[in-house]
Every structure is written in C-alpha cells, then in structure tokens.
Structure 1
Amino acid sequence: MNGTRHHRTLAFALLAGLAFSGVARAEDKVYATVDGQPITQADVAALTSSLGAQLAQLPEEARLKAVVERLVDMRLIAQAAAKDGLDKTDSYKKRMEQVRTQLLVSEYVKDKVEAEVSDAMVKARYDKDAAAYNPPEEMHARHILVKTEDEAKAVLADLAKGGDFAKIAEEKSQDPGSAKNGGDLGFFAAGDMVPEFEKAAAALKPGETTKEPVKSQFGWHVIKLEEKRKQPIPSLDQVKDQVRQAVVGDLFTQKLADLKKAAKVDVDEAAIKAASAKPEAPATPSAPAPAK
C-alpha cells in the first residue's frame, strides 16, 4: 500500500510539473512527442532527479531511454485523465494548488535567497564561526593490548628496563590494527575510545606511560601518550558548502520573519487544540444488578 501511495504522489507531482511546462523552450532538446506535445530535456532532468537511486545502476543510454518511456506513459495517462475531466475536480484543483505553492516556495528560495548569498557572505560567516569555535582536544597515543593482567605487568617491566614501546607493541600487542604500527592509534577525540582507556590516557602527560595496566572489555592495556592538541579547524574549502547552507538558512529565516511582519496572520489555536485532542473513551456501562 505504501508503495502504491508513493507512486501516485510521485506521478501527480511530475504530471503537475508537466502541466506547468506547456511547450518546449528553445534550448530544450526534444526526445519524444505524444500527440504533438514534446517531452524535453528539462522533463527528463526533473524525472531523473526524482527517481534518483532507482536509475543509478543503469548505463547512461538505458537510463535515458527508461526515463523517456516513463514520461511517455505518464503523458498518455495525463491526457486520458484530462479527457475524462479529472482535471476539473475539486480534488485535482486543491492538489494542483498545493503543487503550485511548493513550486513557488522553491523558486523563491532559489531566486530571492540562494541567489543573494555571495562568496563574501560565506567567507564572513566562516571567519565569524571559526573565531568563536573552541575546538575539542585530541590525544595521540600508543597502546599494547594483551589478554591478562600478568602479561600487561610483564610489558611494564620490560619498559622499565628501557624497552622500546613501539618494538614491544609490534612483538606482543594483540591489537592487529595497531600492533604493526608500533601500537600507534593516531589522534582521537573524546568518545572515540572506551571510557576506561580514554580516562587513563587523559591522565597522562605527553611522553608518559600508564604505571598500572588498564582493563577494558578488550583486555589489558599499557598506554603511552604521545601528544595532545586542539582539533584542527577545517579550512573554508573543506566546509564551504555547509557554511553556504547555514547562510542560506539564516537569510531565509530573516526574509520569512519580514514577510510575517508585513502580513496579517491569524492562527486559530483553539481549533488546532480541538482537532488534536484525543476523543474521550466512552464510559463503561454499569453491570446489571443481580436478579433477586
């Protein structure tokens, strides 16, 4: 049932889009016609975008052919529906008004919000956020993981005799991911490691090794802290899209607030409350009195 509803909704939205498109623009490539009505490159692009993952695995030519065939089918159904007068029903008109509203909102955001966001605005927002950002601390540590506490104590004894941490890790650590790198775990932030490990590492100064074995769900650890640092702030190039979206969101909120100030909006809170209230359960009828 959900699939059927999805296809109906998708078909309606796309057919509504076709109704708005009318004739092909001069720059649109025409891939097919249905009773003289063109199916254009713009129509294909809109449907391809809507179908998304459903077409991702198809080769380009097969994908284009599938989309054109789908559009032909939809155009035929739309023509049949119009012939039967279904485009004159109140239900159709209400849904078309909903589609029109959605399209106008989309066009407003594109032309009146996104188009006004400049690279300078994005840079200013990035600089402001970067200046206020307090990056979390990261730790860079090595560890040697063994199964038992006695094994961990033996590792500590070897280190106390001047053993090289990285070499001992390569020989004895049972963490296959880090042993080959001398136990090096790289940098990690709060929450990346199990609490016992993280707490023990955070208590160390750079260059120090835990004096006692540290137990976790994985076994027993001997930990060496290499260094601490503030997490690097990403460059503008790395986060430009996210920053732009934040600026767009702020500008949209501002413009919407201005529109609300200029309009007369009345919200019937009582009607909303009444509509959302759960109906009271019917009273349970009293049991009949026993016959005397």
Structure 2
Amino acid sequence: MLRHKFLATAALAVALSFGASVHAQEDAVVAKVGDLEIRQSELDLAIENLDPQLAQLPDDQKRVAALSGVIDVKLLAQGAADEGMKDTEEFKKRMEYITDRELHNSYFRKHVVDAVTEDEVKARYEKEIGAMPKQEEVNARHILVKTEEEAKTIIGELDAGKDFAELAKEKSEDSNKSDGGDLGWFSKGRMVPEFEEVAFALEKGAYTKTPVKSQFGFHVIKLEDRRDVQAPPLEQVEPQVRQLVMRDKYLALVEKAKSEQPVEITDEALRKGYEDVNKAQAAEPAAGEQPAPQQ
C-alpha cells in the first residue's frame, strides 16, 4: 500500500545542524569564560546539537544544559590551545573534514531542502499514487463463539430475520461485540487466512451459511461492503513525499558533481563497495529501504 511505502520511507529523515540566522544587534553576550565571550548564536547552535536525551528537556533546562556544555568546551579548548594542539597535523585534518562536512550541509540546505516546491511534492505524490496497483478491501462484521453448534444456531436466527449487529452484541465473545461485531475496513493479509478467504468471497450484504473455524473459535461473518483501497491524502503523507523529492534532488546534485569531478578509488575492496552502495542508492526506494542522505 502507498501508506506503507510512505511510512517505510519515513525512515529517510534528514538530520540537519543549521542554526537560525541571528541579526548582529540580537546576538547578545550570554556569558564569559575569561576573556572569551559566549553569544546567543553560539548557545543556539549548542542547543541544536544537544544529546537526544537532553533535547527532551523543557526549553529553560535545555538552555542551561547547552550553556554548561559550551562553558566546558571553552575551558578545555583554551587548555588545548595553550598546549599548541590546534597547530598539529591531526587537528588540521579534522578541521578540514569538519569544514567540508559543514559546507556540504549548507549546500544541501540551499539546493535540496529549501529548493523543494509544493508543486514538486504534489507531482511526486500523484506519481506514487499512479504507480500503486489496485488493492481491494472489505468492511465486515462477525460473531465469534466457542462451538460450531452455537454458530449454527446463530445462522438459523439470521435466516429467521434477526439483525446481525444485535445478535453480535448479544452472543459474540469478541471484544468488538458492543460495536455489533464491526471489524471496519481491512485488506488481505490483515486477518487469519481461513477468515479472510471467506470474507472476501462473500457478496455484499451476505453472511456465511456455515460456521468458519479459526484458532479463535467459530465465526459467523457478514460482508457489509467492498471497495478499492483508498490512498492516504497528501496532507497525511506530505513529509514522507517531501523526503522522496529531496532524495531525488540530492542524488541529482551528487551525480552532476561526479560527472564534473570523476571519483577514483585505488583500494579495490573499497571501490567495489562504493560502487555497490551507489547502485543501491540510485535505485528507486522500496519499502524498508533508507537511501536518503544522512547529514
């Protein structure tokens, strides 16, 4: 189902680390560590990058936790600077990688996240809807009893003209008896096979003339209606559809960059692994896959 595919791609969430822009006049000093100032913009970045557990705290506690972390960082960073650590090759390599990663994130935000239009989201939604095969679902009621004889007696009462929902309220042992045995809408694969086979074979308005046995007991089933499975409305799955559009934009950016700057991998095992990953990423995502870029 489309809902399943969208929910499966829901695992495509993009974790970005971008702080909101802060005007200079609003970037107040919130603390000092020696001669170093900690400004609101730095505190905002620290809040965004809190440990997930701390991120669940109330806003005032998050601010305190983030400030505590920034102060600790400033204190020990000063110690590292005093020892000359920032002049080491190891540190320079780490900073070069971090710089590249943040540039990548900024580029991603500009050309992917902020570039997605509502028309693109709607078009991708309609494409997914059109590609989904039709699937039938039914609306049914049932009465569940322990023995076959009880089920046969109920069928006899139905033949005599008694109302199915009222009999369900009176005699069913299922938890939905108060709803007249209403099971709502369900598609294939939702019920036990023996129940499902009979339910989907019934005509609209008909009930089973013989008891249906399952692991739960004996059922008398009535088919209320049947229809094609309804796709979820765009409003319900818009975030997941947007992720699909973002994924396509991201892959297009990467492919364009590769065409302009060919990638050469000298390690044979790494080269093969890299190619396999890129082939899988370029394929259309199926339920359960998570091919979106991770920031």
TM-score > 0.5, shorter chain as reference: yes
Report deviation, 1:180.
0.3
Report deviation, 1:107.
0.8
CA shift in 2, pair 1:90/1:220, >3 Å:
farther
For 1:244, the aligned partner's letter is R
Report deviation, 1:56.
4.9
Check the 8 A contact 1:135/1:232 in 2, yes or no.
no
CA shift in 2, pair 1:252/1:213, >3 Å:
same
Q: Count residues with an aligned counterpart.
A: 256
2:71 is aligned to 72
**Aligned runs of 1:268-287 on 2, under 5 Å?**
268=266, 270=268, 272=270
Greater shift in the superposed pair: 223-232 or 127-136: 127-136
2:230 is aligned to 232
Partner of 2:133, secondary structure, is coil
CA distance in 2, matches of 1:84, 1:135: 68
1:91 is aligned to 90
2:220 is aligned to 222
2:164 is aligned to 165
Q: Gaps (5+ residues) in structure 1? A: 1-13, 18-22, 276-292
Check the 8 A contact 1:201/1:223 in 2, yes or no.
yes
CA distance in 2, matches of 1:118, 1:57: 31
The answer on 1:128 being equivalent to 2:119 is no
CA distance in 1, matches of 2:40, 2:226: 55
Partner of 2:92, secondary structure, is helix
Report deviation, 1:140.
0.7
CA shift in 2, pair 1:263/1:60, >3 Å:
closer
CA distance in 1, matches of 2:102, 2:134: 40
Q: Gaps (5+ residues) in structure 2? A: 1-16, 274-295
CA distance in 1, matches of 2:241, 2:186: 25
CA distance in 2, matches of 1:149, 1:95: 73
Residue 208 of structure 2, aligned match among 207, 210, 213: 210
RMSD value, Cα: 2.8
CA distance in 1, matches of 2:23, 2:88: 27
Q: Deviations over 1:58-113 (max 9, x none)?
A: 33322222221121112111111221122223332232222222212211110122
Check the 8 A contact 1:24/1:38 in 2, yes or no.
no
1:261 is aligned to 259
Q: Deviations over 1:219-244 (max 9, x none)?
A: 22111111111222222222222222
Check the 8 A contact 1:138/1:190 in 2, yes or no.
yes
- TM-score under structure 1 length normalisation: 0.78
For 1:190, the aligned partner's letter is K
Report deviation, 1:217.
2.0
1:144 is aligned to 143
Greater shift in the superposed pair: 156-165 or 41-50: 41-50
For 1:229, the aligned partner's letter is R
The answer on 1:184 being equivalent to 2:197 is no
Greater shift in the superposed pair: 235-244 or 53-62: 53-62
The answer on 1:109 being equivalent to 2:108 is yes
- TM-score under structure 2 length normalisation: 0.77
Answer with 1 or 2: which has the greater Rg. Answer: 1
2:193 is aligned to 195
Partner of 1:212, secondary structure, is coil
Larger RCO, structure (CA 8 Å, separation 6 or more) = 2
Check the 8 A contact 2:27/2:41 in 1, yes or no.
yes
Partner of 1:215, secondary structure, is strand
Check the 8 A contact 2:50/2:66 in 1, yes or no.
no
1:289 is aligned to none
Q: Deviations over 1:112-151 (max 9, x none)?
A: 2222222222222223333333343221110111122222
CA distance in 2, matches of 1:207, 1:131: 31
Partner of 1:233, secondary structure, is coil
**Aligned runs of 1:9-88 on 2, under 5 Å?**
25-51=24-50, 53-56=52-55, 58-88=57-87
Check the 8 A contact 2:139/2:186 in 1, yes or no.
yes
